[in-house]
Structure 1
Amino acid sequence: MLIQHNIPLKPFNTFGIAAEGVDYIVVDDIAMLAEIGNIPRDKFILGGGSNILLTHDPEGLVLRNKLKGIDQIKEDDTHVWLHAASGEVWHDLVMYTVDKGWGGIENLSLIPGTVGASPMQNIGAYGVEAKDTIESVTFWHWEEERLLTYSNAECHFGYRDSIFKHECKNKVFITSVVYKLSKHPIFNTSYGAIEQELQQMGAKPDVQTISQAVINIRRSKLPDPAVIGNAGSFFKNPTIPSAQFEALKLEHPAIPSYPVSNTTVKVPAGWLIEQCGWKGYRNGDIGVHAKQALVLVNYGNAQGDAIWQLSGDVVDSVKRKFGIELEREVQVW
């Protein structure tokens, strides 16, 4: 097992933050995990680096996930089951399923990161979440020194949330995920943007056209990390009681919402941030994207702690204006 030292991490995080992995290991074989587990150091698992903010040089082991492989393991008349290694690029997996005509994750096209992040974050977009298709998640447990597999229910999925961010946090290395995909999918075009894009494309909804519509929308609204450093949506959309929303609506009649239950609604964090005047804000190399206020950006050589401070200022201003406390989606190292 090769341990490299003082490896620049800027190329491995989409924010483009300069930091170094003091001790860095490329994990390309599950068999390595038992040996790594015997090293008494904190472990930082680096997949696509698309949901992290580096505020300092990680002092433990930086584990670069390079586990690869996509295999069809089962099928019946209506579904197929795919086993995907956690180091596979997420969008590559989506394109694999789209090419096959299998439905379930086409709305999640072009989300950056790796397969391992899909259960960790319960990634989601345009009315679809990873939990909708995840059958099981397999991981190496550092303390138990063995591979375990959790069913969908055991993963305790929530909005951008799972057991891997709580009880299992820093205790496991996700190695693979099994997805159950449909041969005869029911398409989700409930988000108006997808319907509008399909109309502009002159296309009827199917796996391929919905995927392309989502790709077009994301490219038009979100900055390319290769050009402007960012980690996509920095904040979660808050869920608030319906009574609180009705009170806010009296003061802010244009406030949008999406029903969650009979007693709660979800409010777009981007709208709240924009109403506080942050959209397009820039101070040196840090800023809020001009087209999507959910996205904080690094225009060049920003420090991670400066971006973190900016996120705190955004949270404070939304709290003062609306009485809603935004929750950060990005993981901080």
Structure 2
Amino acid sequence: MSAFEQIRHFEDSRAAAGQQARVEDTRFAARQFRADMLKGPKARYFESFDLVKVPYPVRYGLRNAFSRERLVEYMHIQNRLFVVQFDTPEGVKTMLVSPSDHERNGETPFFRRLQDRTANWLTKILINRQNTVPQVLARLGLRPEDIDYITYDHLHTQDIRRWLGTDKQAGLFPNAKLLVHWREWESTKDLNPYQADWYCPSGIAGVPENKVVCFDGSIMLGDGVALMHTPGHTEGNHSIVVHTDEGLWVTSENGVSVDAYAPLLSAASGVADYAKMIGTEVIINGNTLENAVDQYISMVQEATVAGPSKRDPRFPNVFPSSEMTPFWLFPGTRPAFYVGHARHGTLHRR
């Protein structure tokens, strides 16, 4: 397990027998954590970079809420890389959040089948490859050896071997370690068939154990950066919380749009009506449904920690790691609020 500072706020927040009691206890803990984190220092640098747009089933991304589901099967999601730098007693650390190797991630069984049954000309329209991780780092002037950590809110579709290496081949980032909740790491090594459909085959095979740092609960990494356990989408899902001059950004894939955290305001077809009808606060991203009750709680937790967006205070300051993006082929999937891009602070180069 890791030696990072433990965050204690959420340790008993899901202990109640009642489901809504757990929601309220977690909301209370999230308010306290938000207040404490805002009192502390900010991260040194935070910026988002577009990597690839891919189709994703609306029946999963907007679980049960999208009214055109029979006519519009997919939405477009924008996958992003986040580069984060923060101060620690050991100096400035550089972390890559969601560094997807999208050239290999397509081997994930669900997406492999989707590509195999789609004509090549249509695939070129539906999949928009914008940047690779090495291209982004080169533009920033960061060297591979400058990367200290990589992390993902969960390991769906991820192939990390190019970054961390294997027992047969060196990785691109010689000094980097993966920060991952221990439940996510253990699950990825021993998946059942329903979950395996969403994990890249051999995506962690041969990665040296000394390149992996497992943590439990929620942890502070350094000034203004936390990894907050938010189970549900997967058992080991965690959210990345970064303190910036735009407040606390909270990043994960529990929801695929800021609309999913404020569904009564959503512009996506039928979402607001559905939320009003059943009285839900959030719309979960439910492709695997490992634990929908926990995922609901986690999304309330994320929205509460994030607080109001400075861009539009009606919405929470959540930055989905894969964000529902308007696309002409998928009518009805335009969100009411789209984050797009954020940049804060000054990049430190060694």
Q: Is the TM value for this pair above 0.5?
A: no
TM-score range with shorter-chain normalisation? under 0.3
Rg larger in structure: 1
